[in-house]
Amino acid sequence: MKNSALYIHIPFCDHKCIYCDFYSIITKDNIPSFLASLKKEIEYYSRLYSKDRYFTSIYFGGGTPSLMDASYILEIIDCLHKNFSVSENVEITLETNPGTVNRGKLRDFFAAGINRVSIGVQSFLEEDLKFLTRIHNRTTAIDTVYNALYAGFENISADLIFNLSGQTKTKWLYNLETVVELPVKHISAYSLILERGTILNKMVIDGKVKIQDADYDAELYELTMDFLDSKGFFQYEVSNFSKEGFECVHNKAYWEYRDYLSFGPSSHSFVDGKRWWNFSGLKKYISEIEKNNHAVAGSEIVTDEQFFDEYVMLALRSNGINVTELQLRFGDTWLKNKSKYFSDLQQHNLLTVTKESIRLTKSGYAVCDEILSNIL
């Protein structure tokens, strides 16, 4: 039985933030039709992939899944349980935006089976939240964390973004100091990335916003790693930190290159060496499900070279390469060919190499993309 993951994309939002490039729509139209199509898609794929695998994580992303009623989310969870072999200890995450939930609604989500919330805080500074066009303020963000705790959630994650326009080290450190004082077990800290097609990207192109350079970004990142490590948050992936035992099961499925099935518009799946993705538009998604029971817009078979490159990339960006596993899968030719380069990286404190593993150091994480480009 293969250990796999399930992802549900809920596209509905009440507002589009300037930096977001995920598929979302600001409307409440088609919410019932979407649910019917989603259940139909789940049932279709269960006939193909339910026999030889079990699922240890369910992740509701978006969009803003926390806009939905708990009964809506429960109906999806029940459908997944009915159609797939879901682990008794399954991690079920709901992305949650401050300003869309109160304690009562969080209690309803907990009763529906959600056992982990990922709260999109992004910043505790009012000026940052206004710049990012978030709908909440500092007080609402903090209240949401505590409301989740009082609603029954032990596994609480908070998202933060660094290297915002004009963000000083003092301001970023304030965000870090604030979040570690809250009852969170997991922190995702992302550098602000300019994505094509976003409002922010156009603002930068037009000269209305200036983003700080890569060297400053790296300094903020190293500050993040050092500070969170000093507060007992273990770094298990480039952007993710957790208390012991609270690593995100769903994240690890991606980073460990395991299979995952995804449902909803714009979602991507990866099973048995095949990758496919759905149409993005909600109306197109619904019409395709009605016609075909699926909404696949494109697919590819992962080549041996792709498989190797992706395996190494994902491993180095997370807990490192398991040497024995890599040799069993791919042989040891690559390791021998790269031994001198690995030795050089180790001398510069960018890599730790043992008989068991090859892992980036904190300094290595800061230049991860450059290292990967040199070895792949």
What are the strands of the beta sheet with 321-322, ordered from one edge?
321-322, 357-360, 351-353
Least confident of 39-43, 204-208, 283-287, 329-333: 204-208
Q: Band the pLDDT of 225: cuts 50, 70, 90.
A: very high
Amino acid symbol at 373 = S
* pLDDT (average), residues 323-350: 92
- What's the rounded Cα separation, in Å, for the pair 163 and 175? 12
- What's the rounded Cα separation, in Å, for the pair 304 and 312? 12
Please provide the DSSP assignment of 14-72 as one string. S---TT--S--BS--TTHHHHHHHHHHHHHHHHHHHSSSEEEEEEEEEES-GGGS-HHH
Cis peptide, bond prior to residue 63, ω within 30 of zero = yes
Given this model, what pLDDT does residue 13 score?
87
CATH of 2-255, one of 3.50.50.60, 3.20.20.70, 2.40.50.100, 3.90.1300.10: 3.20.20.70
Q: Band the pLDDT of 19: cuts 50, 70, 90.
A: low
- What's the rounded Cα separation, in Å, for the pair 358 and 350? 11
Please provide the size of the chain in residues. 376
Q: Is the pLDDT of residue 165 over 90?
A: no
Given this model, what pLDDT does residue 107 score?
98
* pLDDT (average), residues 22-47: 90
Q: Band the pLDDT of 129: cuts 50, 70, 90.
A: very high
Q: Band the pLDDT of 100: cuts 50, 70, 90.
A: very high
CA 94 to chain CA centroid, Å, is: 11
* pLDDT (average), residues 168-190: 97
Q: Band the pLDDT of 211: cuts 50, 70, 90.
A: confident
- DSSP state, residue 12: B
pLDDT in tens, 73-99: 999 999 999 999 999 999 999 999 999
Given this model, what pLDDT does residue 201 score?
66
Given this model, what pLDDT does residue 124 score?
97
Report the b/e string of 339-358 with b at 16+ CB within 10 A: eeebeebeeeebbebeeebb
Q: At what angle do helices 214-230 and 169-180 cross, to 10 degrees?
A: 30
- Indicate the burial class of 46 (C-beta count within 10 angstroms; 0-12, 13-18, 19 or more): middle
C-alpha radius of gyration, the chain, whole number: 21
Query: Could you tell me which residue, 259 or 215, shows the higher pLDDT?
Result: 259
Q: Where are the alpha helices (DSSP H) in 267-331?
A: 282-292, 304-317, 323-330
- What's the rounded Cα separation, in Å, for the pair 199 and 18? 5
Q: Is the pLDDT of residue 47 over 70?
A: yes
Report the b/e string of 274-302 with b at 16+ CB within 10 A: eebbbbbbbeebbebbeeeebbeeeeeee
Residue ranges, comma separated, of all CATH 3.20.20.70 domains in the chain are: 2-255
Query: What rounded mean pLDDT belongs to the chain?
Result: 92
Query: Could you tell me which residue, 21 or 230, shows the higher pLDDT?
Result: 230
| Short-list 237, 250, 266, 253, CA closest to 93 | 250
Given this model, what pLDDT does residue 25 score?
79
Q: How far is CA 51 from CA 43, 295, 308, in A?
A: 13, 22, 27
- What's the rounded Cα separation, in Å, for the pair 12 and 69? 12
pLDDT in tens, 260-289: 999 999 999 999 999 999 999 999 999 999
All residues at 6 or more sequence positions from 202 whose CB lies less than 8 Å from its CB, including other chains: none
Report which listed range, 28-37, 180-189, 344-353, 356-365, is most confident. Answer: 180-189
Q: Is the CB of residue 171 less than 8 Å from the CB of residue 157?
A: no
pLDDT in tens, 185-206: 999 999 887 667 776 667 777 7
Given this model, what pLDDT does residue 18 score?
63
Q: Band the pLDDT of 20: cuts 50, 70, 90.
A: low
Structure tokens at 1: 């039985």
All residues at 6 or more sequence positions from 129 whose CB lies less than 8 Å from its CB, including other chains: 122, 123, 136, 137, 138
pLDDT in tens, 236-268: 999 999 999 999 999 999 999 999 999 999 999
